[in-house]
Structure 1
Amino acid sequence: MSAQARRATVAELSSSDGCVVLRVSGELDHTAEQTFLRALGAFVENGHRHLILDVTALTFCDSRGLGCLLAVRWLLRRRERLVLLAGAGRRVTELLALTGSSDLLPVHKTVGQALAVLPAEHRPPWPPVPDRPTAPVDGAN
Structure 2
Amino acid sequence: MSTQAHRLSITQLASCDDCAVLRITGELDRGGEELFMGTLGACVDAGHRHLVLDATALSFCDSRGLNCLLAMRWLLQRRGGKLLLAGAGRRLTELLARTGSAELIPSHRTVGLALGELPQSHRPVWPPATPACEA
Question: SS at 2:55's partner residue?
Answer: strand
SS of residue matched to 1:56: coil
Over the matched positions of the two proteins, sequence identity in percent amounts to 60
Partner residue, 1:35: 35
Matched, 1:107 2:107: yes
| CA drift at 1:49 | 1.5
Paired AA for residue 64 in structure 2: R
Matched length:
132
Aligned to 1:78: 78
Distance 2:79 2:16 in 1: 18
Q: Equivalents in 2 of 1:5, 1:71: separation in Å?
A: 20
Alignment of 1:54-73 (within 5 A): 54-73=54-73
Q: Unmatched 5+ residue regions in structure 2?
A: none
Q: Which secondary structure does the structure 2 equivalent of 1:40 belong to?
A: helix
Name the counterpart of 2:50: 50
Q: How does 1:82-93 map to 2 (within 5 A)?
A: 82-93=82-93
TM-score (norm 2): 0.93
For 1:32 and 1:127, the matched residues in 2 are separated by 27
Q: Using the alignment, how far apart are the partners of 2:84 and 2:20 within structure 1?
A: 11
What are structure 1's unaligned runs of at least 5 residues?
A: 137-141
Does the aligned pair in 2 maintain the 1:5–1:26 contact within 8 Å?
Answer: no
Partner Cα distance (1:118, 1:43) in 2: 17
Q: TM-score if structure 1 supplies the norm length?
A: 0.89
